[in-house]
Structure 1
Amino acid sequence: MYVRDVQKNVCKSDGTPIILSERAATAWVDGNNLLGPVVGNFCMDLAIKKAKEAGIGWVVAKGSNHYGIAGWYSLRALKQGLLGMSMTNTSPLCYPTRSAKPALGTNPISLAAPGVNNDSFVLDMASTTVAIGKLSYYKKP
């Protein structure tokens, strides 16, 4: 998917996200239409840095693309001993009941929290009945 998006110029393959506005614990980032994982990792790195310095790190982005598995980003925070949260909106990909066209996005959300004795809690889910990755997996011959 990512290679196709770059080949068709759906997104940029080179560049860096830009911080548009920033405070001690928050930031607004322009992803410059880069690959979603580039923007997602940039934002999570910034959120982790802010959380360690200010006690919380809340970063939002615009101008991004499909960023992959939401849990990847919350787990990055968890590995730093932090509570992690990652979510995004998506394009309409799924059909509501009795609908003739897609109208719902999967809008993934993930939460990760450290526990005791090397245990942790991780939630990674979509707001639709089925995540788009599962549909893609079962669609293949």
Structure 2
Amino acid sequence: MNLAHAHHLRKGRYSKAGRVYIVTTVVTGREPLFQDFQLARTLVAQLRHAHDQQWVSSLCWVIMPDHLHWLIELRQIGLSNLMRRVKSRSSRFINAAANRQGRLWQKNFHDHALRKEHDLRATARYIVANPLRAGLVTTLRHYPHWDAIWL
């Protein structure tokens, strides 16, 4: 992505409760913070918090070393508000756990609304297969940082 035009990602963003989205957000500087097991699990706790607060219905996610892919059905809050809350909370807890300061996440995020006819299971399989395509593991059984409701 051309960072000079990254601010255009926010223009015209529309979100709707009940709609399914794929959301991707990236660590500042692509620092591979989530190679650390505990930091990745700290992020998992924040994804679960968003689900428990009924902001989203979390369908699947995968945490890569330097970014997150998350398949959600939006519930009570808008997409920008959701991401602001999740990024803020996760930054606070991860920075404390890693004894670090400063911005954790890149300012923006990418979202893609799915059409009703999309096969959610196929989309989830594609998302959680990211570690395989990246060559991090040869089988998902060896990658601890993913989940899907269809297990």
* Same fold, TM-score > 0.5, yes or no: no
Q: TM-score, normalised by structure 1?
A: 0.28
Q: TM-score, normalised by structure 2?
A: 0.27
More helix by proportion, 1 or 2? 2
